Amino acid sequence: MTPALTEVAHPGLTTLTEEETMFQEAVRDFARSEVAPRVPSMDEAAALDADLIPQLFELGLMGIEIPGRFGGTESTFFTSVLVVEELSRVDPSVGVLVDVQNTLVINALLRWGTEEQKEQFFPGLAKDVVGAYALSEAGSGSDAFGLQCRAEKQGDDWVLNGQKLWITNGAEAGLFIVFATVDPEAGYKGITAFLVERDFDGFSVGKKEDKLGIRASSTTELVLEDCRVPAENVLGEVGKGYKAAIETLNEGRIGIGAQMVGLAQGALDHTIQYVQEREQFGRPIGSFQGVQFQIARMATDLEAARLLVYNAARLKDADKPFLIPAAMAKLHSSEAAQRIASECIDLYGGYGFTKEYPVEKLYRDAKIGTIYEGTTNMQLQTIAKSLL
């Protein structure tokens, strides 16, 4: 059984507006009351509790930047970051569901969608439709544009054929942004983004991956076999999908940074409580200077990650360059989450290695942070190229 977590004081070094603070606290309360009790069973079943998703929509967490006229919350990218952080503090699987919806799918539609596309898809995305972002393939991970999925124009439609792998939200999504090439000889200039609905002929969701961590988050294969997509469902311009992919992923990396910050905060919260309760040599282990120094270093590492993530999100909202800040935020937060989750298990000792306590799960969840939405090496390359 996972022990109840009491409130852990946080220095609050980052200033939030009153509205942001209220929203953050509301999400935190929801995560602790509605998500936390479901975490062990969802991890064991490798599936989200179906009752959670409607609640996420009702709270406005699935349409944070969608304009109010479409039923959205009409808030900021920074608000999305706060939401992902707070949900991930309890369960990074729920955090990434909301993250992909907001920082990838909705952001892509906001930037590249026509007014007709927004009118068609935003009301559903704000109310009850989960979105997914389908770029990766078996042969194109870090080489994101080495796509084999093809799109051919036939009459008024495009016909898509190919396979997508490792698609987050694949099991739950009703709308997919699928990237395919219309001209393999053109390289990245042939890449085009398509809005594909789940019930389109020729589209199916395939194998669901059995993963190490974030197990409740669905990661699936997509299969497109002569999948017909109306021409009006092209997102952006034909042959310009690479721009949509690059810009959206830059924003998405900030969201993953927020997920990792929340995860690390959750692990540290549990550990601070534990070291004040666990006794050895006749006193709480938290009274030993060695343990205190470990806690202090973890808290400092975490706060540095949080500030990098928040800064990148603020820059994005201010329409200022954020390529390097986003890469730095993703790089540092994902590595910090692994360090902190690992050290938290050390402080739990043998208990930390069991499923009875929550740090074991958070340790498993942390590993994905250095892999998806741009590996650590890709973030280092982005930073170095920009600086040199």
Bridge partners of 279? 284
CA atoms within 13 A on the CB side of 177: 33
In the three-class reduction of DSSP (H, G, I as helix; E, B as strand; rest coil), residue 221 is classed as strand
In the three-class reduction of DSSP (H, G, I as helix; E, B as strand; rest coil), residue 378 is classed as helix
What would the two tokens of residue 289 be? 């200077």
Alpha helix ranges (H) inside the chain: 18-30, 39-45, 52-58, 77-90, 92-99, 107-112, 115-127, 241-277, 289-317, 323-348, 359-366, 376-387
Q: Rounded to an integer, what distance in angstroms lies between the CA atom of residue 234 and that of residue 193?
A: 6
Residue 315 and residue 308 in contact, taking contact as beta carbons nearer than 8 Å:
no
DSSP code, position 357: S
Bridge partners of 239? none
What one-character-per-residue DSSP string does 19-78 give? HHHHHHHHHHHHIIIIIGGGHHHHHHHTS--TTHHHHHHHTTTT-TTS-GGGT-----HH
Give exposure, 155-182, as e/b (b: 16+ Cβ within 10 Å): eebbbbbbebbbbbbbbbbbbbbbbbbb
Residue 63 and residue 175 in contact, taking contact as beta carbons nearer than 8 Å:
no
Tell me, rounded to whole angstroms, the distance of Cα 313 from its chain centroid: 14
CA dihedral 13, 37, 35, 174 (to 10 degrees): 150
Alpha-carbon distances of 96 from 146, 262, 380, 387, rounded to whole Å: 25, 11, 23, 30
In the three-class reduction of DSSP (H, G, I as helix; E, B as strand; rest coil), residue 153 is classed as strand
Looking at 335, 343, 360, 373, which residue is catalytic? 373
Active site residue 373: yes
- Return phi, psi of residue 29, to 5°: -60, -45
Give exposure, 332-353, as e/b (b: 16+ Cβ within 10 Å): bbbbbbbebbebbbebbeeebe
Residues that are catalytic: 373
